[in-house]
Structure 1
């Protein structure tokens, strides 16, 4: 920066003597290559020599792309690979001739001081260069984050009030999900009568065979259990959906979500003899969970958590919601589906 300011001052001082158009290149006469830079960094930071291996640019781009997808804080980008082997020799003749300028600083000379500052206080160095300081000092990063986000009490109370009004408006704009959940509860409570669950006395040979092989309760009894389970769960879903109409009853949404999860496994637990009842329970359970938690947003989320724009929580070295964390779950879901 000092060299740049010096060049600008010289241009201003000599503006009457310079040509009308004066293109000029500014830079170091002794430019470090990427290979030299990497080797010097390895020696200065880790006191060891770093080996450099040459790979095709296509492979390098693929690796950089994968890192970008899996790590939102990645620095290297695919376009950097294209210029990784570029080496620019600047023609500084115009700067020397017309301005009498040459750089007084060089990266080669300054690099040891830069690395020394990094090693002396990694946390301060990362913060000064707008990097994720949690990678080197998570405890200091957490304290610094709390200090950075500290706000006056009056402003905090005003923010809480605005947040409460915003959340209330959002809640009332999403009341349709609770009405729809109530409708699902009504359907679930009446479905056993629609399917004739309580009146069924004859079952297929496959159901009878499984009952005998597994030593299960009689199919008619299991059918009755499944039917009453649907009636009771349907009634509870309607009650909790009604309570969920009020923004103060976030617990009711969680209660319905629990019932939805229960419905997903109830058919398996009771060895439901009816495929229609089993499928209906699975569908209603999944929809109830989606309508109570996923679509209207989970109840009970704090204002600080919702207003925080950072991806990495204080004290963490990575974002817990990146694809790196989600891919194993997605893979397990695909395996389970197959």
Structure 2
């Protein structure tokens, strides 16, 4: 009986130990499940916040193709309005309207216009460096407003909503950010190594400007230079499309002055020879390029950059030393030749 009692005690102790182990295990599982629940809840909250942010951005409306890369990844060459490739050199545009700024605003002396961009809402933003203003107006020249600039505004690019970034030449060369609706300056970014004559554009919601032998990627919110890309030349006529930054060689000793581009995918710079010096570069709806050259010709370059063809000569107004800029939302192209601004509507 004594031995049997001892055996019962041992069994009882084992059962108590097993019960404690089971309780510990169950408690651990509860803690794990609770932790997983918290994690899942956190993920759901993050997803919800992201969706709310995207909805807010879409409701506000992004105002430039580069700004839309907040939603579309950087390495995405697809346009928001996808379409098949244009036939190279085909007649894509009809002349919609022309403005002569000298006669329109009864200007006694010629104002030198250096750059123009069309916002996604159709408004035009123009740079008058020697009048120290940027001009905002509709495509018919109505509702004209101007913003005084403490320096010479040379080039402009759309950022987001009604915001533009302007290259300003003064004692210190800088980038100034303006709200063209409220007509006031938001901030100024000083970049002593920047060259105003190179131009300005955007990629992946960051500004792109040029310096001597380099491209500078600048955060327009913080003013920080986040990347420097060595080019081996003075980059000029800057333009971005998809994951590529296009530029020419602005060095006066380079007589060939080819079309160059930096590719973010492989971190390399490529070159394509043209018949003459490129003076303006813009992207069309299908990702192909219009490259205007100083011989008065427009080269239509395929989006893979392997083929090109001269634009048909019935778009005569494109000839001359003009700036060419296309807006993918408005489906309109703007050219600037002296004080004559021409607006083209893309054929449907």
Place the TM-score, normalised by the shorter chain, in its bin: under 0.3
TM-score (norm 2): 0.18
Q: Larger radius of gyration, structure 1 or 2?
A: 1
Q: Between Structure 1 and Structure 2, which shows a larger proportion of helix residues?
A: 1
- With a CA cutoff of 8 Å and minimum separation of 6, indicate the structure with the bigger relative contact order: 1
